[in-house]
Structure 1
Amino acid sequence: MESLNALLQGMGLMHLGAGQAIMLLVSLLLLWLAIAKKFEPLLLLPIGFGGLLSNIPEAGMALTALESLLAHHDAGQLAVIAAKLNCAPDVHAIKEALALALPSVQSQMENLAVDMGYTPGVLALFYKVAIGSGVAPLVIFMGVGAMTDFGPLLANPRTLLLGAAAQFGIFATVLGALTLNYFGLISFTLPQAAAIGIIGGADGPTAIYLSGKLAPELLGAIAVAAYSYMALVPLIQPPIMRALTSEKERKIRMVQLRTVSKREKILFPVVLLLLVALLLPDAAPLLGMFCFGNLMRESGV
């Protein structure tokens, strides 16, 4: 009987919470949209599958070693961690102390959890190596640069104003987050509001990179929100476009005003990088990878 009870307790179904069940359903919905409806499959498929992996009960694939320790609720181990943090030996108090602790202290607690026999999940390791270090957004931006054709922009530079409109979305989102904080609805600091605001620019890699610098605690939520809403653009845009344009206008076929030479396309990423990086050095990492990817595309390397 004890063996049967141990078997049942080891099943994920016995520990499935309401939040995990909802997220599993959301993940399945994202997979369905990606596979059946072809809505941005390159975005929604990995997001949906990652959601399934991270919300499987008791698997701990998205937990760090320290989070796994806290999830097991071992009184002796909690007491050791609490003594190091000078707080009460309960999970809630330890989490609050960790949130206020310096990164070096958090790293020490993580190493202590590893010494106690806990290991981080595979998704937690991937997050630390790829996203937490800032490498993944840079590599993604290089890929985006390699996929981008600046020919239409170089042929008609006035279209640059269309891209500049994204900046209004950034400032509107920042002000929206600060407004929520002002009225006490949701508490956001200025760095958190700035990290959230980048979502308004419809740029996933930049949102991940900046949130990792300004608000690492919100990185997961910001990444999912940014890529989810961008993936649903094909679903959101059509009714808006039909409402604002006539059928005749929608049938207009846009043609490029002039042929852009190979030399122009090669010089553009180099000149762009030099101009922007010299004025705003902080933008050099992301913009540098973007321009590098575009230069490889245009040079044929």
Structure 2
Amino acid sequence: MTTIYDVSRLAGVSAKTVSRVLNEPDKVKIHTREQVLAAMKQLDYSPNASARQLRLGGASSLGLLLEDPSSGYQSRFHQALLTACMEAGKHITVELFEGVKPDWESRVDRFLNEGRVRDLILLPTLCDFEPLKAHLRKRDARAVLIAPSIFDPHFPSVVMDDRAAARQIIEHLFSLGHKRIGHISGHPDHSASILRRQGIFEAYDAAGRQRPGPDLFVAGDFMFKKGIEAAEALLSLPEPPTAIFAANDETAAAVSMVAHKRGLSIPADLSVVGFDDAPIASAVWPALTTIAQPYLDMSRRVVQSLDDWDANFPGGTAATYMTRHDLVLRDSTGPAPK
């Protein structure tokens, strides 16, 4: 599927400029407009934004529901979505979703009506909240799900390869000589937790090593406090791990704090790996080796999926789009202690 970003690359302009050519052509210089139109013709790009606006009754903003704006994960996506919308010449309206209260449906309705919102973006855990998705279908609203645990045929989703990322982390630790590796997982019901465990096992299987025992897996629920408890449990084992892979950077930071309290040196005595590349990853000492989630790439795909809605259902059910990640090597990992 050709996207607005493909057009912008071929024309040598920003995605925002392409959007202006589509929506406000009089505000774009003639030469630039001709470049963009030529690129659209060459790529056979046929936007359907105008028809979409008519079908949606004049809706003008994308809507984002946040459960915990203070969390590193949600705040990073919020920032990336703002950038993606700015590039595409769109606006985003944000609302706090304060859990399942008796009037949550009416609050969502007010958000849709007063914010002129028909296209929504749902982050975990709202992307798995079935009553909300059913309510949106009833309202004929559209939504793109980011990293859902459950496939939904009605809404396209944008994900990263958690299993491959976890395998890459373990293989990195293997290359440093680590044999006993602990894992602090996220919420047990979330697909990321399940996929990352599979990735860990894949790394062990591919290396011909025996899989780690259950004592090396502790739930941290993506929370700093739980991360402290999990780190204490792992480092109190009769034979503690020489490396710990945490579900996110917040729990990895908790591991670092516990290790320092115990007088352990990172990475000389213990290597620590996080996930997400949140601001805390480079703020703690030593800075965390981590997986950089492709927040901006995922956000651009979300915006494009909403813009070209019909292309999301090639076989009658919603598509799932996979984006790439990066392993960021910093000072928190090193050779296994002898």
TM-score, normalised via structure 2 length: 0.23
Richer in helix (by share): 1
Richer in strand (by share): 2
Q: Which has the larger radius of gyration?
A: 1
